[in-house]
Chains A and B, each alone.
Chain A
């Protein structure tokens, strides 16, 4: 209906008489006089019974809009002079073309969703894609945007405007919280992929933030054909999920940056528990307080450099040594040794993952 309303709205700037469109029951769905929308025109019955395309009353001309051999709508113009019939014909054809185009867009979107969700047979994708004028041989990138359900409609609106003039970029809603962008990246194939992903995802986030919408963005991997967009979509969804667990401070998660998190995410729960038990027997990890954990995080961030860590934490080097000794005493791992540091890092990430799996309530939007 929105596309018909848009047509009539645009027509109001051209026509100097009232015109509109009603359904076959006479319910006015769009009018140049917005107050008339929702009213019922009793003449519609007579128009439908007439065998002619055009019907005339004392003050209006009506035209049946026929699509696929069926009357779908009735267009009308509130005038009976000679020029009005021509205007109505033009309006009718305009609405027909718009509805057809919109229907084709909707079908194209449905097809793309179907490919994303792997509901299409691989052999049929190029054939159907040709029908929708989709070039299968150009590389694609899928980006998933997740927001609160309340913001879903606005999100789609904003994203459609962000990519409003980009040809071959498809923006669609998967559900009320998830929007998908399938980008044709043929022009970016020779450029720095990472930089392109960074700038594109940041621009999307900024556009949504600008409208007061908090969003999490998952960026998939570059794929070389349209048939492979399901893989890019899977990667983007995985990025979103893994990012949620291991990179909570970031609103953008990129598949290529998932690192160890991607590996740990694939591990079975039992194996994770066994590993934690081995590295942190008797729940040794729980004995580490917040300060110590922050110290460890900073120590790792500074590549096990003690001087830099103590400087950054504003603590004396001896304090840092004391804290690291305490970690060694509680866990048996000396973080100044590379092997122990790796083991600690892995185990703490596995622990984070197990905690995520065990958390019963997870209402966050990502």
Chain B
């Protein structure tokens, strides 16, 4: 169990490449922090710096109050789980789990005790005498977790551990890892490019892009209050609709206009940051579920209603995605309720926006206008 502190951490390579820039983060003891972002954003590099597998160019990393910049990986009291299970094929599960402890010359009795405990936690006691090739993907992943658990580390580091699993198993293992975190009560740092994994597992999420932290927040905050278009677009599936729109102020009322559609914004947008942009272009962000085709809602909210051509209808069971085009040029994605939606392909459908769930971003900086 340990807290972590990253202070102005940089990873620079010769020739000007900066993989991680001014990374500052405090991780509390027992937290489950997720580093998420697209490929090349610096998330794995950050994790590797924490693990000691990568030199730190600038800044300081602390585990508890101990500066670990120059501490060898094996002396950092961490354990890593990778995408590759890294299991030894000719050793049994028991031997695989015991391997790193044997390297440390730990007494056999202690090794046996730790392996038994970890196997019990992971419910793989019946697999201990099997070899990896006799295990399923999920079981192998559990053994990989077991190898980390036996070390009894202060911090667990996981680098895309579920990427090799099929979609169904990934969902199952997501739950398993979350449960494991609750059971072990240890600090977890988890790297993924999958926003669903990030949203479902983390107590806090660090969204990264091009080596910079974009936003650090709880999953709900990230979803509801993204600070820029990158975070808004990265978190959420289908992604947020971004519409180039113009702000129009009429007295104390604020409107956004796009493609001959005018939408009145709620009173909370009648603030200086928005009002001063009268006549200016902004990026209007609308999540797919904030656009509805429900007839009563559309009738009750004429100030946010518009119509669009339905191009594609995707029925997913619990929800339906409508891919529509406004005014023949603006494509939008809507997530609607299949029990009430009557929309069909080729139809002109009446839609309305729930303006309590919209976002405004600056056109140049792409930062949220209202924080």
A299 to chain B, nearest CB (A): 11
User: In chain A between 305 and 321, which residues have their CB closer than 8 angstroms to a CB of chain B?
Assistant: 312-313, 316
Please pick, from B15, B17, B80, B99, the residue contacting A209 in the complex, using a CB distance under 8 A: B80
A316 to B366, CA, bound (A): 12
B364 in the interface (beta carbon within 8 A): yes
Please pick, from A154, A213, A312, A352, the residue contacting B15 in the complex, using a CB distance under 8 A: A352
Residues A211 and B17 in contact, CB atoms below 8 Å apart: no
Residues in B neighbouring A166, C-beta threshold 8 A:
89
A202 in the interface (beta carbon within 8 A): yes
Closest to B84 in A: A206
Known: A206-B83, A207-B84. A297 touches B89 (CB 8 A): no
B90 in the interface (beta carbon within 8 A): yes
Residues in B neighbouring A162, C-beta threshold 8 A:
88-89
Please pick, from B16, B48, B82, B147, the residue contacting A294 in the complex, using a CB distance under 8 A: B16
A202 to B81, CA, bound (A): 14
A350 to B86, CA, bound (A): 38
Residues in A neighbouring B219, C-beta threshold 8 A:
none
B72 in the interface (beta carbon within 8 A): yes
Residues in B neighbouring A43, C-beta threshold 8 A:
none
A150 to chain B, nearest CB (A): 8
User: In chain B between 20 and 73, which residues have their CB closer than 8 angstroms to a CB of chain A?
Assistant: 45, 48, 51-53, 72-73
Residues B86 and A296 in contact, CB atoms below 8 Å apart: no
B257 to chain A, nearest CB (A): 25
A212 in the interface (beta carbon within 8 A): yes
B281 in the interface (beta carbon within 8 A): no
Residues in A neighbouring B52, C-beta threshold 8 A:
212, 214
Closest to A290 in B: B16
User: In chain B between 316 and 332, which residues have their CB closer than 8 angstroms to a CB of chain A?
Assistant: none
A45 to B90, CA, bound (A): 42
A157 to chain B, nearest CB (A): 7
Residues B103 and A161 in contact, CB atoms below 8 Å apart: no
Residues in B neighbouring A316, C-beta threshold 8 A:
364
Most central of B86, B90, B210 by chain A CB within 10 Å: B86
Please pick, from B45, B73, B364, the residue contacting A212 in the complex, using a CB distance under 8 A: B73
Known: A213-B73, A214-B73, A297-B17. A157 touches B103 (CB 8 A): yes
Known: A161-B91, A164-B91, A249-B19. A211 touches B100 (CB 8 A): yes
A293 to B90, CA, bound (A): 49
A210 to B153, CA, bound (A): 13
Residues A209 and B19 in contact, CB atoms below 8 Å apart: no
Residues in B neighbouring A203, C-beta threshold 8 A:
84, 86
Residues B53 and A214 in contact, CB atoms below 8 Å apart: yes
Closest to B17 in A: A297
Residues B147 and A210 in contact, CB atoms below 8 Å apart: yes
Known: A212-B52, A214-B73. A165 touches B84 (CB 8 A): no
A224 in the interface (beta carbon within 8 A): no
B71 to chain A, nearest CB (A): 11
Residues A161 and B147 in contact, CB atoms below 8 Å apart: no
A55 in the interface (beta carbon within 8 A): no
B74 in the interface (beta carbon within 8 A): yes
B122 in the interface (beta carbon within 8 A): no
B304 to chain A, nearest CB (A): 31
Interface string of A271-284 (1 = CB under 8 A from B): 00000000000000
A211 to B88, CA, bound (A): 12
Residues in B neighbouring A249, C-beta threshold 8 A:
13, 17, 19, 45
A330 in the interface (beta carbon within 8 A): no
A348 in the interface (beta carbon within 8 A): yes
B152 to chain A, nearest CB (A): 15
Residues in B neighbouring A102, C-beta threshold 8 A:
none
A163 to chain B, nearest CB (A): 8
Known: A211-B103, A249-B13. A312 touches B210 (CB 8 A): yes
Closest to B14 in A: A248
Residues in B neighbouring A161, C-beta threshold 8 A:
88, 90-91, 99
B18 in the interface (beta carbon within 8 A): yes
Residues A352 and B14 in contact, CB atoms below 8 Å apart: yes
A108 to chain B, nearest CB (A): 19
A21 to chain B, nearest CB (A): 22
Interface string of A314-357 (1 = CB under 8 A from B): 00100000000000000000000000000000001000100000
User: In chain A between 213 and 269, which residues have their CB closer than 8 angstroms to a CB of chain B?
Assistant: 213-214, 248-249
Residues A294 and B84 in contact, CB atoms below 8 Å apart: no
Closest to A202 in B: B84
Known: A157-B103, A161-B91, A164-B91. A210 touches B16 (CB 8 A): no
Please pick, from A164, A294, A296, the residue contacting B88 in the complex, using a CB distance under 8 A: A164
Closest to A211 in B: B100
Residues in B neighbouring A294, C-beta threshold 8 A:
16-18
B236 to chain A, nearest CB (A): 21
Known: A157-B103, A248-B14, A297-B15. A207 touches B86 (CB 8 A): yes
A296 to B302, CA, bound (A): 51
Closest to B131 in A: A165
Known: A212-B74, A214-B53. A206 touches B86 (CB 8 A): yes
A293 to B364, CA, bound (A): 24
User: In chain A between 157 and 208, which residues have their CB closer than 8 angstroms to a CB of chain B?
Assistant: 157, 161-162, 164-166, 202-203, 206-207
Closest to A161 in B: B88
Closest to A348 in B: B15
Residues A248 and B13 in contact, CB atoms below 8 Å apart: yes
A352 to B17, CA, bound (A): 13
B212 to chain A, nearest CB (A): 8
A256 to chain B, nearest CB (A): 21
Residues in A neighbouring B74, C-beta threshold 8 A:
211-213
A47 to chain B, nearest CB (A): 33
A348 to B48, CA, bound (A): 28
User: In chain B between 61 and 118, which residues have their CB closer than 8 angstroms to a CB of chain A?
Assistant: 72-74, 76, 80-84, 86, 88-91, 99-100, 103
A162 to B86, CA, bound (A): 8
A213 to B51, CA, bound (A): 10
Q: List 22 A-B contacts (CB under 8 A).
A: A161-B90, A161-B99, A162-B88, A164-B88, A209-B48, A209-B51, A209-B82, A210-B86, A210-B100, A211-B103, A212-B53, A212-B73, A212-B76, A214-B53, A248-B13, A249-B13, A249-B17, A249-B45, A294-B17, A295-B16, A296-B16, A297-B17
8 smallest CB-CB distances across A and B, nearest first, come from A293-B16, A164-B90, A212-B73, A212-B74, A165-B90, A161-B88, A206-B84, A206-B82
Other 18 A-B pairs with CB < 8 A, given A164-B88, A203-B84, A316-B364: A161-B99, A162-B89, A164-B90, A165-B90, A166-B89, A202-B84, A203-B86, A207-B86, A210-B82, A212-B74, A213-B74, A249-B13, A290-B16, A293-B16, A295-B16, A296-B16, A312-B210, A352-B14
